[in-house]
Amino acid sequence: MGTTSNSSLRSAGSITDVAGIEVGHFTDTRRPTGCSVVIVRDAAVAGVDVRGAAPGTRETDLLSPTNLVDRVHAVLLAGGSAWGLDAAGGVMRWLEAQGVGMEVGLAKLPLVPAAVLFDLFLGDSTIRPDAAAGYAACEAASVHAPAQGCVGAGAGAAIGKVFGIDRAMKGGIGTASVTVDGVTVGALVACNALGDVIDPDTGRVIAGSRTPDGKSLFDTRRSLLRGEAPKPLITGTNTTIGVVATDAVITKAQATRVATMSHDGLARSINPVHTMSDGDTMFALGTGKSGKTLGMMTLGTMAAEVTAMAVVRAIRAARGVTAGGLYLPAVSDL
Q: Which of 221, 326, 217, 332 is nearest to 269 (CA)?
A: 221
Name the pTM for this structure: 0.94
Q: pLDDT digit string (tens) for 40-76? A: 999 999 999 999 888 999 999 999 999 999 999 999 9
Would you state the pLDDT for residue 237? 83
* pLDDT band at 234; cut points 50, 70, 90: confident
Q: What gap in Å lies between CA 133 and CA 35, rounded to an integer?
A: 7
Return the CATH number of the domain spanning residue range 15-333. 3.60.70.12
* pLDDT band at 8; cut points 50, 70, 90: very low
Would you state the pLDDT for residue 53? 87
In sequence order, the 6+-apart residues with CB closer than 8 A to the CB of 191 are 154, 157, 159, 171, 172, 173, 174, 197, 240, 270, 311, 314, 315
Mean pLDDT score, 298-309: 97
Q: Which of 260, 233, 53, 241 is nearest to 129 (CA)?
A: 241
| Domain segments of the chain as ranges | 15-333
Scored b (16 or more CB within 10 A) or e, 4-17 reads eeeeebeeebbbbb
Would you state the pLDDT for residue 189? 98
246: part of which helix (H) or strand (E)? strand 239-246
- One-character DSSP codes across 303-324: HHHHHHHHHHHHHHH---EEET
Q: pLDDT digit string (tens) for 167-198? A: 999 999 999 999 999 999 999 999 999 999 99
Cβ contact 86:33 at 8 Å: no
Half-sphere exposure of 165 (CA within 13 A, CB side): 19
Q: What gap in Å lies between CA 134 and CA 219, rounded to an integer?
A: 36
